């Protein structure tokens, strides 16, 4: 039977809410409510598509390693679903933080995201605690708060499915997707202290026109040089990013919610190792001097059929 994926390859929308929940250990209603939750996620997607067909609205639910075991979901688990372990470099660390359920809500109208979040929270609040909620928004022409276009290297067309969804190598979970997320906070005072030319060397692209520097000019520790990775045989390795900026000007908190859907977590891990440890070791991603990872959690997004099975 063909497995229909959740909306993991949808393009970023104008409004997004990301929520991470931690399940309560002692809750006799947990499994029953999880069944209802799976049914709710399917219902929300059907409802927003029928009511607002042009809104590009969706709700993607993903499940962490500990939750998978706690909820007695099928075994063996997805092959690369683990508790993420921190990746520590000489100067910067990709921290590991807890998380059982992750929700990625998208729509062109924030009201749709808001109402979906309310329904999910009403159902979950008795058996889980919300430990992170981020409201992201489209900033100009898909730029991060740092002022550069974000996601230029994203795959398109059929490549989005290939790089985002599990294939035949894990037949039990074909069509599912590994989800890795990080909340980054930016030191905007330090960033704005750089000239435009210096900022461009950190990123590896022109700020105004989003043109990648040539290999002869691009610094080896630029973000583009280290985040773009290849396999052992030189094959291109990609992920589907759906990063969104967020911020609170009154408190001077500005950041990026990094979110990657991938067919294998090993691809994401290789990219993170390049960035935080460096290639070669010590040649870490210069953007980390201005952007600090506050969270880091791995999840798995089951297919719609799996959610239907989980709903009982």
Q: Which residues are catalytic?
A: 150
User: In Å, how far are 18, 35, 41, 120 from 123, measured between CA atoms?
Assistant: 17, 11, 11, 5
């Amino acid at each position: 039977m063909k497995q229909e994926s959740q909306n993991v390859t949808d393009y970023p929308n104008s409004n997004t809410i990301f929520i991470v929940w931690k399940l309560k250990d002692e809750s006799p209603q947990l499994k029953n409510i999880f069944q209802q939750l799976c049914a709710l996620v399917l219902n929300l997607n059907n409802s927003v598509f029928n009511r607002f067909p042009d809104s590009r609205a969706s709700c993607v639910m993903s499940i962490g390693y500990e939750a998978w075991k706690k909820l007695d979901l099928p075994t063996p688990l997805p092959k690369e679903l683990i508790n993420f372990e921190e990746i520590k470099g000489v100067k910067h660390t990709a921290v590991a933080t807890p998380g059982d359920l992750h929700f990625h809500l998208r729509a062109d109208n924030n009201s749709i995201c808001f109402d979906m979040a309310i329904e999910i929270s009403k159902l979950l609040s008795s058996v889980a605690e919300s430990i992170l909620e981020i409201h992201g928004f489209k900033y100009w022409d898909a730029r991060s708060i740092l002022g550069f276009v974000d996601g230029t290297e994203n795959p398109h067309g059929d490549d989005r499915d290939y790089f985002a969804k599990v294939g035949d190598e894990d037949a039990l979970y074909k069509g599912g997707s590994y989800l890795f997320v990080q909340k980054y906070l930016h030191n905007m005072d330090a960033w704005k202290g750089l000239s435009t030319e210096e900022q461009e060397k950190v990123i590896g692209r022109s700020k105004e026109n989003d043109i990648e520097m040539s290999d002869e000019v691009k610094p080896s520790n630029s973000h583009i040089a280290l985040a773009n990775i290849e396999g052992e045989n030189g094959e291109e390795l990609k992920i589907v990013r759906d990063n969104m900026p967020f911020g609170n000007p009154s408190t001077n908190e500005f950041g990026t919610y990094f979110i990657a859907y991938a067919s294998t977590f090993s691809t994401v891990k290789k990219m993170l190792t390049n960035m935080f440890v460096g290639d070669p070791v010590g040649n870490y991603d210069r953007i980390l001097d201005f952007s600090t990872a506050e969270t880091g959690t791995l999840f798995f997004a089951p297919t719609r059929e799996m959610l239907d099975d989980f709903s009982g």
